[in-house]
Amino acid sequence: MQTNLRGRDLITLQEWTKDEIGTLLDVAFTLKRDRALGQPHPYLRDRVLAMLFFFASTRTRASFEAGMAQLGGHAQFIESRSTQIAHGDTAKEIGEILGRYNDGIAIRHCDWGVGNTYLREVAQASRVPVLNMQCDVYHPHQALADLMTMIERFGDVRGRTATVSWACAASYQKPISVPQSLVLLLPRFGMNVRLVHPPEFALMPDIIEQAQHNAREAHAGFEIMHDFADGIRGTDVVYAKSWGAMQTTTDEAEGARLSAKYASWLTDDRHLALAGEDAVFMHPLPADRGVEVADSVLDGPRSAVYDQAENRLHGQKAVLALTMS
């Protein structure tokens, strides 16, 4: 077990070793058990986390804020639009200044081509850990909660197959950070990954290259497929969510037109029936109900979406306690 995690940034789990992620999982499950037993665990008394949002959130904000309170500390909510960040505070200034007020800085910045660079500039200037609450490239705390959920469902996940699939959406071009984080992380824990998407909805080439490398190292499978039904057939995890066509176009209207071509990429009971008999449906939420996924699947017995959302709390508390104590 790796215990020397104080002061570490978490921008992508790819920069953490498998042993270090194992420590996160171990502590997360312990904290989940402690909370279930009503056992106090104030590891961060008097510590403060700055939570800086450039983009909307329900689960991420609520779970980080609740987590800090349960660890005995405090989280301050800062929005870019209602602060001087909108009037020119630079990433370096934010890193320097919020780093002097706080014991950690968590940031959500999903703007394509901007978010990850911003986080890294803040981290460069900050004396305290910087935690990624989702950027344009990665969503590490979602992937951590998802891996926890798969371990809870299956026990040993090695040899299990996870289908990480694109799904149609009507709302907006969603970030590609969730599928990218999943295809990087799951093979490291021995899971076979099927990445399934229409040709226009590819992920970043360097992420794919790294995911293939991770799979080779772990002797796990990694396939890219372009047929939704084939991608689901016989799998253990149907993780089907929408993401934008950023590798093809950054134009919102063109992205929406491309998405509409694939309206049949909706997980309904007929599709789920193709999966393995103990397969689970996963989604980070929010979902476009009736477009990405049918209500009967999202609310059905195979859905793990509320466990995923709950595990955001426990996984993040592990990250906070280990990096900020």
List interacting residues with ligand CP (CB under 6 A): 57-60, 134, 142, 284-285
Select 70 or 142, whichever has its Cβ closest to ligand CP.
142
The DSSP symbol for 10 reads: B
Select 173 or 192, whichever has its Cβ closest to ligand CP.
173
Torsion, Cα 245 286 193 24, to 10 degrees, reads 120
Nearest distance from residue 186's CB to ligand CP, in Å? Answer: 17
Nearest distance from residue 285's CB to ligand CP, in Å? Answer: 5
Question: CB-based contacts of 265: which residues, under 8 Å, 6+ apart?
Answer: 165, 166, 167, 168, 198, 228, 240
Q: Are the beta carbons of 198 and 225 closer than 8 angstroms?
A: no
Select 136 or 215, whichever has its Cβ closest to ligand CP.
136
Select 57 or 248, whichever has its Cβ closest to ligand CP.
57
Nearest distance from residue 196's CB to ligand CP, in Å? Answer: 20
Nearest distance from residue 111's CB to ligand CP, in Å? Answer: 15
Nearest distance from residue 159's CB to ligand CP, in Å? Answer: 27
Select 64 or 228, whichever has its Cβ closest to ligand CP.
64
Beta bridge partners of 194: 163, 223
Q: Can you list the alpha helix ranges (DSSP code H) found in the chain?
A: 18-36, 59-70, 91-101, 115-125, 140-154, 177-185, 205-217, 228-232, 252-260, 269-272, 295-298, 305-324
Select 215 or 305, whichever has its Cβ closest to ligand CP.
305
- Can you say whether the dihedral through the CA atoms of 67, 286, 227, 247 is positive or negative? negative
Nearest distance from residue 22's CB to ligand CP, in Å? Answer: 23
Q: Are the beta carbons of 136 and 299 closer than 8 angstroms?
A: no
Nearest distance from residue 141's CB to ligand CP, in Å? Answer: 8
Select 64 or 222, whichever has its Cβ closest to ligand CP.
64
Residue whose C-alpha is closest to residue 237's, from 180, 179, 162: 162
By Cβ distance, which residue is nearest to ligand CP? 60
CA distances from 97 to 89, 112, 122, 242 (A): 10, 25, 10, 36
CA atoms of 81 and 280, how far apart (whole Å): 38
Select 145 or 232, whichever has its Cβ closest to ligand CP.
145
Nearest distance from residue 271's CB to ligand CP, in Å? Answer: 22
CA atoms of 146 and 169, how far apart (whole Å): 21
Select 140 or 284, whichever has its Cβ closest to ligand CP.
284
Nearest distance from residue 219's CB to ligand CP, in Å? Answer: 30
Q: Which amino acid belongs to residue 270?
A: R
Number of neighbours of residue 262 by Cβ within 10 angstroms = 18
